[in-house]
A = this chain, B = another copy of it.
């Protein structure tokens, strides 16, 4: 820095020269001193220059005692779960007071590989938002599925010099870490300081190893015991409230004055409807305050604690030299966002959303490649010769049992009718067929099984959002309806759809890698709401979000029975097993 610019910065901070913006009569929620105090706040060229008194500014705002809070930080989130483009996602977060997010493009990377990561980096580049990227550490997530890419340490290392790349994304393969698998060691030894954790169900002794490997955050706690085990070993615990996994209220009782500095707030996965109607981190703050937490403590968790846990100096506080990202509120307990500033410039007022031009998506729209496809691949042969003792018109099969409000499934055994040697669905038992079609490499792989508990009585439902490999997953009562749903997904270049008889009764194209829309958030939320209403007419239970459920039925890391393009997976044994017994 030149001498004159150093002097200029000192003079700005001292209140000796005219600055861009001064907030007068602000009630600052001070995350360092842990108190609220009235002060003026000086801002120049996007940075706070200090607090106290500032005589002269280009713009002076009298806040009349309104609260100023540092811009909120989401420490761990997947943009793809919102179904929105990165631009829409950031716009929506800004309107909710969130100015910083650490995004892990794990989903798009499973489909598009490095190109997907590059797209996320490119699409947020010009936005008035602090988007940091944690590089997906587990692509593919497991060996029992076919993904669109395989990213090793070498592939990830190409992104390390990008200024938005701050580390390694959630290391789900904790076995790979603690058992020191060579490919994982290579990733763990990438020269990054932030390595994000994800280790539900890890033994408490093994947690030592996971932490010692350099992984110091965890967002998968669902009980106070899990949280305590992790806090004791030094983890920064991310209290999560997503659309699917909701842990915040369960964990708040474990937050104390002595450990709250280790705690931060994250959303992980939030659907567009929840983002629009409930909010983002602002919603978590409201929830925590309603649950009885001290607002200042909650705000520390939503700001400076996150910045420190992740390693984002200059963010998360109102202090000299910090980036001037802040939120204005009238009432701290209600925590309704009035105005949102990023680098000293207003981005949103009373929930209005900034409009951003979009980065071209043309390179990402061709993501559905089924290879050789025939509806006959949906057939399940009954293996009559192997089960002579069975009634020849019934077959005993393994069925995935969907549970209400849960991503965990049951491994069921059911008898299903057999016609012409093929096992049939059974509307009476509400047992449908499920198939996962590999859509990346054109292998033509199709896994087929049966599912109970969705409530589906007729028609079919399909999606190209299916964790973590995002193959095409389809559930239906007839092969014909399933085939139409599959064809509809192919024609859309990826998306969600509902089919009844020979009609497509609803759909949302997701042209960006088959994961994200190029439409506006509100439009998508509206269509999605309509789709969910229509799903009810097919018999889908009100206790089940059908698309979310579909998206997790192919994730072979959550117990008990899942289906991938390679077949049925016994998650506990981590083995492929036969559908028909």
Contacts and interface: CB of A to CB of B under 8 A. Distances in A.
A354 interface: no
A213 interface: yes
A262 B32 contact: yes
A179 interface: yes
A526 interface: no
A33 interface: yes
A227 B63 CA distance: 26
A14 interface: yes
* Oligomer: number of copies: 2
A46 interface: no
B321 A15 contact: no
Contacts of A15: 205, 208
A32 B300 contact: no
A551 interface: no
A178 B1 contact: no
B189 A1 contact: yes
A163 interface: no
B233 A180 contact: no
Contact of A213 (B10, B42, B317): B10
A320 B211 contact: yes
Contacts of A182: 3
Chain A contact-residue range equals: 35 or more
Contacts of A34: 256-259
Interface in A8-57: 9-11, 13-15, 30, 32-35, 37, 39, 42, 49-53
B50 A233 contact: yes
Contacts of A13: 178, 205-206, 208-209, 211-212
Contact of A234 (B7, B14, B32, B214): B32
B50 A212 contact: yes
Contacts of A319: 211, 233-234
A32 B263 CA distance: 10
A61 to B, nearest CB: 19
A296 interface: yes
A13 B215 CA distance: 13
A205 B320 contact: no
A232 interface: yes
A189 B10 CA distance: 14
Given A185-B3, A212-B320, A233 B300 contact: no
Contact of A212 (B9, B35, B231): B9
Interface in A245-287: 256-259, 261-262
A297 interface: yes
Contacts of A208: 13-15, 42, 49-52, 320
Nearest to A259: B34
Contacts of A102: none
Given A180-B3, A185-B3, A32 B205 contact: no
Given A35-B232, A50-B212, A52-B205, 7 more contacts: A6-B189, A13-B212, A35-B256, A37-B232, A52-B208, A214-B321, A234-B319
Instruction: Report the 9 A-B pairs with minimum CB-CB distance, sorted nearest first.
Output: A34-B258, A50-B208, A7-B180, A234-B319, A257-B257, A13-B209, A13-B208, A212-B320, A33-B231
16 contacts: A1-B189, A6-B185, A9-B209, A10-B180, A10-B209, A10-B212, A10-B213, A13-B205, A13-B208, A13-B211, A15-B205, A35-B258, A49-B212, A50-B207, A50-B211, A50-B233
